[in-house]
Chain A
Amino acid sequence: MALLKNRYVSLNETAEPKEKKSFFASLFSKKDEKPEVKEPPKKDDDIPAGSVKCPDCGSIYDKKELGSLKICPKCARYYRLNCKERIRLIADKDSFEEFDANMQPKDPLNFPGYAEKVASLQEKTGLKDAVITGKCTIGGFPAVLGVMDSGFMMASMGSVVGEKVTRAFEYATANRLPIVLFTCSGGARMQEGIVSLMQMAKVSAAAARHSEAGLLYITVLTDPTTGGVTASFAMLGDIILSEPKALIGFAGRRVIEQTIKQKLPDEFQHAEFLQEHGFVDKIVDREALPYTIRDILKIHSGKGGEE
């Protein structure tokens, strides 16, 4: 699986929890309404405190101007959302109930530094690993929802991501619910070796059973979705949505450039490129996603036009 060229700066990587409260205590609380935005890594030191400099257009503005959608007010660049911010945008208020909140990775290869890295990211992000799963309603329609977080080891898929997503599918199958997964990932979690490769088969098998039960699976590809996640559950949705310009691919850009000994155009592996080649159903603006997902759920709900 591939390592990404870091084309977008993840805000999550520099984010620190303001205080030690549980993920869900903070999820819908009032005083937490504005998502926290820290400065991206910067070359110039002249950015005022509380401001961000857009890595794409170079504009400097107060971070509040990004709003809960985290979109650059000048050039419409999408900053990455962490899973807390994403769930707040998608799930109906107070409807989200988390599954498997305490699941954490072990260290199957005894890989030097892995346990420490996990522990420090857990401290920094307030997450146990790179995905949050649960059930909620979206526009009033019940669904299982999973959201990956690129702030946790680039949302690579190891045992915890594989197990939580598998259980989410199994819960959805058992309870005859649709499932909506927001993907982003650098690929398989190398530090877990072959065990992480096997997660691809495990999740895909669970997705197969959900599909055979005649249930709906929506994937929403977000920046960046690559490697073993692309080559498993990201590409298995009945309906595959994507955010604009999200990087989506199997092999990493750098690996391909080294293989073919050529530079690739900027738009290569963007959502628009995938849509053009027939692998994305619809590119949806971030602010429209909750409504688009609601509408798709509604069409599959067996209910008539009026709600």
Chain B
Amino acid sequence: MMPAYDKVKIARKVSRPTAADYIEHIFEGFIELHGDRNFRDDKAVIGGIAFLGDIPVTVLGIQKGKNMEDNIACNFGQPHPEGYRKALRLMKQAEKFGRPVISFINTSGAYPGVGAEERGQGEAIAKNLMEMAALKVPTVSIVIGEGGSGGALALAVADRVWMLENSIYAVLSPEGFASILWKDAKRAKEAADLMKITAEDLLELGVIEKIIKEVDGGCQNDFGFTANLIKGKLEMEIPALMQKPVDELLDERYARFRKFGEFTE
């Protein structure tokens, strides 16, 4: 099996397909909707409405750029509070119109900056966790690259969480983890081995329900292959989730997150 840190490197590749790439490939008639109706439009979070086959859906994604210009615009995929609030606005809109929500996760984490703190990064993430837990429509989240900490979880409190084979999902980057616990960011590789951040590990822990295959070397080598797999799985899963009565859907989502925790008493 590939060492965890090799997956970290693939997950971070600049050439790796972004949320916008998947949205364009998988959905029809995507209409992007901007802004949180409060402060500004955060380009690190994209969102809008589209069709999955003939089902109207709301689509969200945390967006990284493929070049410096794009990355500056989308802040390297690190959202500000207004990005999370835009996502929440679109999720509540989806709830109003009974549309399932599909989110693509790719962020090293929420942005640690002065404006982000002034505008309540913690509150924005917390609110999303609480509202997503209770959102009365089906939700599926797919980690396509990095799933970094609370900034990723803020769009991933979903009925189903899937990961691409070479994506990672973690409480913190291996570098951050190593620097906090060992005061040495250079031990990131060792941290990655310990942290259980790969799709295989997280499937075993029940953090995710599905692993989506990539071709050798990563999905940038055959984007269509992975994107079609996602499309196929969504076309199965979304109608199945839509069959469930809302109470059952919400009880199952509650139980899905309720189960995490390792303790004795």
Interface residues of A (CB under 8 A from B): 1-3, 100, 102-111, 159-160, 162-163, 166, 188, 190-202, 204-209, 211-212, 227-228, 230-236, 249-252, 255-256, 259-260, 264, 268-269, 273, 277-279
| Interface of A: prevailing SS | helix
Q: Are A264 and B114 in contact (CB under 8 A)?
A: yes
Contacts of B195 in A (CB 8 A): 109, 193-194
Q: Are A202 and B112 in contact (CB under 8 A)?
A: no
A236-B130 in contact given A194-B202, A279-B123 (Cβ < 8 Å): yes
Contacts of A273 in B (CB 8 A): 118
Q: Are B117 and A105 in contact (CB under 8 A)?
A: no
> Of residues A159, A231, A255, which shows the largest number of chain B Cβ atoms within 10 Å of its Cβ?
A231
Contacts of A235 in B (CB 8 A): 120, 122-123, 126-127
Residue B51, interface by CB 8 Å: no
Q: 25 A-B contacts, Cβ less than 8 Å apart?
A: A104-B263, A160-B263, A162-B261, A163-B261, A188-B149, A190-B181, A193-B194, A193-B196, A197-B171, A201-B129, A201-B133, A201-B157, A202-B260, A202-B261, A204-B126, A204-B157, A205-B130, A205-B133, A228-B150, A236-B126, A249-B117, A250-B116, A250-B121, A251-B113, A279-B123
Q: Which of B143-195 contact A (CB under 8 A)?
A: 149-150, 153-154, 157, 169-172, 177, 180-181, 194-195
| Interface of B: prevailing SS | helix
Size of chain B's interface in residues, with CB distance under 8 A? 50
Contacts of B129 in A (CB 8 A): 200-201, 204-205, 231-232
Contacts of B264 in A (CB 8 A): 103-104, 106
Task: Please name the 8 residue pairs, one residue from A and one from B, whose CB atoms are nearest each other, closest first.
Answer: A251-B112, A230-B122, A205-B133, A204-B129, A198-B260, A250-B122, A159-B261, A231-B125
Q: Are B157 and A194 in contact (CB under 8 A)?
A: no
Taking a contact as CB atoms closer than 8 A, the residue among A159, A188, A191, A234 that contacts B122 in the complex is A234
Residue B134, interface by CB 8 Å: yes
Taking a contact as CB atoms closer than 8 A, the residue among A2, A109, A192, A208 that contacts B130 in the complex is A208
Contacts of B261 in A (CB 8 A): 159-160, 162-163, 195, 198-199, 202
Bound complex: CA A149 to CA B44 (Å):
36
Q: Are B130 and A1 in contact (CB under 8 A)?
A: no
A1-B260 in contact given A109-B194, A195-B205, A250-B117 (Cβ < 8 Å): no
Q: Are B254 and A188 in contact (CB under 8 A)?
A: no
